[in-house]
Amino acid sequence: AGPAEPSHADAPLGFRGFTMEEARKLADQGQDAKIKRTPKQVLEDLQRGNTRFWMGNAKRPEKSAFERRALINKQFPHTAILACADSRVPVEIVFDQGLGDMFVVRVAGNAATETTCGSLLFSVNHLLVKVLVVMGHEACGAVKAAGLPDEALAKEPEDLCNCLMHIKAGLDLDRLKNIHDTRAHDREAVVSNVKQQVLALTQREDIMKKVNAGELIIIGAFYEISSGIVDFFYEVSPDSPPEDVPTSPGKAAAAAKTAEKSPSQGVQSVFDPVKGMERQVTGREVEVPKQKVVQAQSYAVRSMGAPASVSNPRQVRR
């Protein structure tokens, strides 16, 4: 938390005055605090924020006039996120974050194109974000449309057609044909698309330098609109590198090609809301009320006939 807003004895009731110098100092302190945090701490904060959101306990952090003034001087977001442009996916709200906390790039199908990657590279190289998230979501119309025949896509305006074809290139349509449950099919398609976009980011040398130095985590996410829960998966970090993510950018293209033939194995939430402790504004640890928890495979894994002993079961509430 930053310092208390400066007050003046002669200020009108209910108003706290401040100078631009004081606002600059607040911005510097906020930036210093962000720099000291580790990527893991930032990711945990996102998980806690999402838990507050779906449990109906969001803080809805708003900035005061003093804090907004401080943001004029500089921005220092802790997270960059590539998300879908869908109106049902308000990123800052879903993670219960405030102004200046997240550098958000939104485009249909959360596609890692030249333009979106350029924006993300700016956040990594110049804003020094600690976590880079690629987030897809339930009922994504762009991913669903990308699965249509090429002839249907060709009828769309050129720019839209190119966007959908870019997404389609990362989908294993032959395997998706074998998933007959509609919800499982849609989820698996979105998860596969997210995985491809994460792999595309690993081809960027500047990004992988940060990852290998322990200064950045790249991670995929799936937002379930119906529940509000965000599942994190496919983390790329020195501590948890997926097997098909290359250790050097030069091998990324081959890894991406191999991944197109590999099932995503579904997703797994890395934050357990039952065992987790929700840190409130006061800094006290408040235990989350216990709920009945069962072990279940994700829709995608279950639909492909995976054995009951499949690894990485997802905890779901009932």
User: Is residue 143 exposed (0-12), middle (13-18) or buried (19+ Cβ within 10 Å)?
Assistant: buried
Long-range contacts of 291-297 (CB under 8 A, 24+ apart): 291/317, 291/318, 292/317, 292/318, 293/317, 293/318, 294/318, 297/266
Asked if residue 261 has pLDDT above 60, the reply is: no
Residue 126 three-state SS: coil
pLDDT at 71: 80
The predicted model gives 247-256 an average pLDDT of: 48
Q: What's the whole-number average pLDDT of the chain? A: 77
> Would you give the DSSP letter of residue 212?
H
What is the pLDDT confidence band of residue 1, given thresholds at 50, 70 and 90?
A: low
Structure confidence by residue, pLDDT tens digits, 153-195: 999 999 999 999 999 988 888 889 899 898 999 999 999 999 9
Alpha carbons 66 and 24: distance in angstroms, whole number = 10
Q: Pairing between strand 314-317 and 293-296?
A: antiparallel
> Would you give the DSSP letter of residue 313?
P
| Position with higher pLDDT, 265 vs 30 | 30
What is the pLDDT confidence band of residue 6, given thresholds at 50, 70 and 90?
A: low
> How many Cβ atoms sit within 10 Å of the Cβ of residue 318?
7
pLDDT at 243: 64
Asked if residue 124 has pLDDT above 50, the reply is: yes
pLDDT at 87: 95
Q: Is 117 annotated as a binding residue?
A: no
State pTM to two decimals.
0.72
Q: Is 163 annotated as a binding residue?
A: no
The predicted model gives 217-242 an average pLDDT of: 92
Report the Cα–Cα distance between both ends of the chain, in Å, rounded. 36
Q: Is 137 annotated as a binding residue?
A: yes
pLDDT at 285: 41
Which value, in Å, is the radius of gyration of the alpha carbons in the chain? 21
pLDDT at 263: 42
Residue type, 90: P
pLDDT at 29: 79
Structure confidence by residue, pLDDT tens digits, 279-292: 333 334 444 444 33
Phi, psi dihedrals of residue 9, rounded to the nearest 5°: -60, -30
Are the C-beta atoms of residues 140 and 190 closer than 8 Å to each other?
A: yes
The predicted model gives 286-305 an average pLDDT of: 33
| Position with higher pLDDT, 140 vs 309 | 140
Are the C-beta atoms of residues 210 and 216 closer than 8 Å to each other?
A: yes
Sign of CA dihedral 242, 111, 226, 271: positive
pLDDT at 158: 94
Alpha carbons 135 and 279: distance in angstroms, whole number = 24
Residue 96 three-state SS: coil
Are the C-beta atoms of residues 19 and 72 closer than 8 Å to each other?
A: no
| Position with higher pLDDT, 226 vs 36 | 226
> Would you give the DSSP letter of residue 109?
G
pLDDT at 244: 59
Structure confidence by residue, pLDDT tens digits, 55-90: 999 998 877 777 787 788 778 899 999 999 999 999
- Catalogue all structural domains in the chain, each as residue range(s) with its CATH number: 20-289 (3.40.1050.10)
Q: Which residues, in sequence order, are CB contacts of 135 under 8 Å at separation 6+?
A: 81, 82, 83, 84, 89, 91, 110, 194, 220, 221, 222, 223, 230
Alpha carbons 188 and 173: distance in angstroms, whole number = 11
